[in-house]
Chains A and B, each alone.
Chain A
Amino acid sequence: MSRLPPLVPGFVAAGLVVGIIGASLGALFVVGSGADGSILGDPYVRRIVVFTLWQAGLSAVLAVGLAIPVARALARRRFPGRTALLHLFGLPLVLPVIVAVFGIVLVFGGHGWINQALDRLSLGPLGSLYGLQGILLAHVFFNLPLAVRALLLALATVPGESWRLAAQLGMAPAQVFRFVEWPVLRQALPGIATLVFFLCFTSFAAVLTLGGGPAATVLEVAIYQALRLDFDLGRAGSLAIAQLAICGLVAAGLLGLGRSVAVTPELGRATARPDVRRGVGALGDGLAIAIAAALVALPLAALVARGLTGPLSTVLRDPAIWSAAGRSLAVGVSAAALALAVACGLAVATRELRLTYRVRHLATAPDMVAALPLATSVLALGAGLFALLHRVVAVFDVALILVAGINALFVLPYAMRLIAPRMLHVAEAYGPLCASLGISGWNRLRLVEWPSLRAPVGLALALGAALAAGDLGAVALFGTQDTATLPLLLYQRMASYRMEEAAVIALLLMAIAGALFIVLERGIGGREHP
């Protein structure tokens, strides 16, 4: 039986990714360099670049800085609901950004819960949410839990003997921090901070809705505005080039720092620690945990409360809502499936290059290809595709294909990181056994590969579908009334201050993203978790 050479799918996948990104970048350079003068000479653009870097840096410092006491507290305290809290901290990862932003508005906005409570206490209202403070709040909402979970993973690598040793030597909590915790945290911090910086640097939905004007806007939003509001492709191209130049630099740094995304909650096993005595320390820990929990839980609670008390029957009877929901589902599932197919092709290529062809230096190439989208941004890539295609096809007619394709590219790095290591591990651990027993082809796939791969495959699909279904960036660029997905409808309702309807749509979108995640993760991944 003649078989497909194992590197062919990898070549196709790599060609697709590199081809699309390369062609888009090329198109950007063509339209961007045609714009008047050097882009960085424009003081307005310079101000946007500075603000983009400034808010990303502040967000990274705030999210990671606050995560240290929270992770420390969660690592050393055992209390009822701790596991539930760690699961709660996993939610912002799959929650559509625009939904979370709406939840933040419901809590911290002008008529939000906090101001209502302050009003009842006859205290003055909070300052306006819109501007840098709102952007930072949203970024901390998303990245504090991410950083906490990554730091918990780092703390879990401390060997049990170190805690016993600290107890035997009679270390006080400050000494435990200095000698035991800080050394492992210090190793993890640069990677996490760079990742958060990067995510905030290319943040779109949060800045679009909470930025509030030209004083607080970022490159990603400026690209969108140049293309969709000013119809200025040249300017969008120049902005996108500036965006890509900085993205590429940061992504190169991120790649060097290795993997630092923790997508599954690490519960860790209980180790007796010497620094868990009651007193001031326990009070501080309780406070840190309570603040972080409130920050994540309050917007979610507000979303559910306002959604359920909103005009449910009116909104849910609107056929436009359901067709948008259907489009969101379709975009989510197809983007996830596409990303998975590409990731599998690349992962097989990695495995074969390492184990069959034994070319270690080449074996990292598929990883680099999968990480390539990280060196771009949704709006920059979107602008590039627009520049590339707008003379060839009616771009807005193929909007959903473009939205699904762009989302697939940005889900690809997650899928690759989940699948490639496990695939390589299976081959290394069981390859010789399979060879000696003559288990190959379909039998090997069914008996050996699938049982170990189904959990990461399920998680990759679940994560990809939830993220793509809730993404606002690509659909804001390409979507029209006829191709709007739920995130776009939600944004439009929010922009026209139809908050009651927005609340119901937000709840529906949250339910869809959540259902996609649970069904795919449980249904395909099975009960075992990676």
Chain B
Amino acid sequence: MSTLDLQAVGFRYEDMTMTFTLRVPAGGITALIGPSGAGKTTLLNLIAGFERPVSGRVLIDGVDMAGRAPADRPVTMLFQEHNLFPHLTAADNVGLGIHPGLRLAAPERARVDEALDEIGLAGLGRRLPGQLSGGERQRVALARSLVRRRPILLLDEPFAALGPGLRRDMLALVDRLRRAQGLTVLMVSHDPGDARRIAERTAFVHSGHILAEGPTADVLGPGATPEVADYLGEHV
């Protein structure tokens, strides 16, 4: 299990200056909520290494990630869409998580099948992404995160396009995988209900800053800050 520690991580996007300070304890699920354009995806990109901070530090288990390529960080990120290459089968898409050139020996092929089995897609490995449903495609991406064996999982709303029931199932699957693999999960969400259901902790992002962070019941509860209450639209 890994802890994630952002120490005054600064970033500029157009004329917006962002500074993130956040500590994510090991082994739990933390939800990131906030209005669109607040910087939630940027925050995940900074952790995954797709964006470079202009100041501050990103620490994982106390190790500074500065200068580390995305592939060398103990992190897997799932995007909202385009998580799979459309011309590769589900199994190959998972296999890329083991070797980025798909040079897989028999035991590694078996690991791919196991991972597909684990997320409930046994036997569908030879399908192309176009032949899978939206939920199944994101399951394949989850399977790949399993074979990569990275302790931190970042979810940038990969289930947002799914219906409420399916989304609940997927979050339950994430929770199950987290317990089984000892993952630390940071997930962006637009639905406070999701956060209440699955995340022990919640961070509220507002125009490039973390305005509130703590146990979900506190951050989203009756004692919420005015910005959070505004965002929720539940004036208490």
Asked whether, in the complex, the Cβ of A169 is within 8 Å of the Cβ of B48, the reply is no
Cβ of A162 under 8 Å from chain B: yes
B69 within 8 Å of A (CB atoms)? yes
- Which residues of B in the span 72-98 have a Cβ within 8 Å of any Cβ on A? 72, 75-77, 79, 81-83, 85-88, 96-97
Q: Chain A's nearest CB lies how many Å from the CB of B82?
A: 4
Binds B, one of A175-183, A203-211, A284-292, A360-368: A175-183
Q: Which residues of B contact A161 (CB under 8 A)?
A: 79, 81-83
Inter-chain contact B70/A168, CB cutoff 8 Å = yes
Contacts of B45 in A (CB 8 A): 164
Are A164 and B88 touching (Cβ within 8 A)? Answer: no
CB A174 to nearest CB in B, in angstroms, measures 8
Whether B50 lies near A272 (C-beta < 8 A) is yes
Chain B residues with Cβ below 8 Å from A175 are: 100-101
B96–A162 contact, CB under 8 A?
A: no
Contacting B at CB under 8 A, from A138-182, are 159-162, 164-172, 174-175, 178-180
Q: Is A131 part of the contact surface with B, judged by Cβ < 8 Å?
A: no
From B50, B85, B96, contact of A164 by CB (8 A)? B50
For B137-168 the 0/1 string (1 means CB < 8 A from A) is: 00000000000100000000000000000000
**Are the CB atoms of B83 and A167 closer together than 8 Å?**
no
Contacts of A164 in B (CB 8 A): 45, 48, 50, 70, 77, 79
Interface range for B: 20 to 34
A248 contacts B by Cβ under 8 Å:
no
Say yes or no: is B180 at the interface (Cβ < 8 Å to chain A).
no
Residues in B with CB closer than 8 Å to A160 are 82
B236, CB-defined interface residue at 8 Å: no
List residues of chain A with CB within 8 A of the CB of B96: 169, 179
Report the separation of the CA atoms of residues A172 and B83 in the bound assembly, to the nearest whole angstrom. 18
A125 at the interface (CB under 8 A from B): no
Partner of A165, one of B49, B72, B83, B87: B83
B71 within 8 A of A: yes
Whether A167 contacts B49 by the Cβ 8 Å rule is yes
User: If the complex has contacts A179-B96, A183-B85, are A170 and B79 also in contact, measured as CB distance less than 8 A?
Assistant: no
A183 touches B49 (CB 8 A): no
**By the criterion CB–CB under 8 Å, are A172 and B100 in contact?**
yes
* CB-contact partner of A162 in B49, B50, B70, B82, under 8 A: B82
Complex Cα gap A165–B50 (Å): 10
Interface string of A68-82 (1 = CB under 8 A from B): 000000000000000
Note all chain A residues with C-beta closer than 8 A to B82. Answer: 159-162, 165
Q: Which chain B residues lie closer than 8 Å to A169 at the CB level?
A: 71, 96-97, 100, 148
Whole-angstrom distance between the alpha carbons of A164 and B50 in the complex? 7
Contact pattern, A 260-283, Cβ under 8 Å of B = 1, otherwise 0: 000000000000101000000000
- Closest B residue to A159 by CB, please name it: B82
Chain A residues with CB under 8 Å of B69's CB are 167, 170, 274
A179-B85, A180-B85 known; A168 vs B77 contact (CB < 8 Å): yes
Using CB atoms and an 8 Å cutoff, list the residues of chain A in contact with chain B: 159-162, 164-172, 174-175, 178-180, 183, 272, 274
Can you list the 9 inter-chain pairs with the closest CB atoms, starting with the nearest? A170-B71, A161-B82, A167-B70, A159-B82, A171-B100, A161-B79, A169-B100, A183-B87, A168-B70
What 20 additional pairs, Cβ within 8 angstroms, besides A168-B77, A170-B100, A175-B101?
Answer: A160-B82, A161-B82, A162-B82, A164-B48, A165-B79, A165-B83, A166-B100, A167-B69, A168-B75, A168-B76, A169-B96, A169-B100, A171-B71, A171-B100, A171-B101, A174-B101, A175-B100, A179-B85, A183-B86, A272-B50
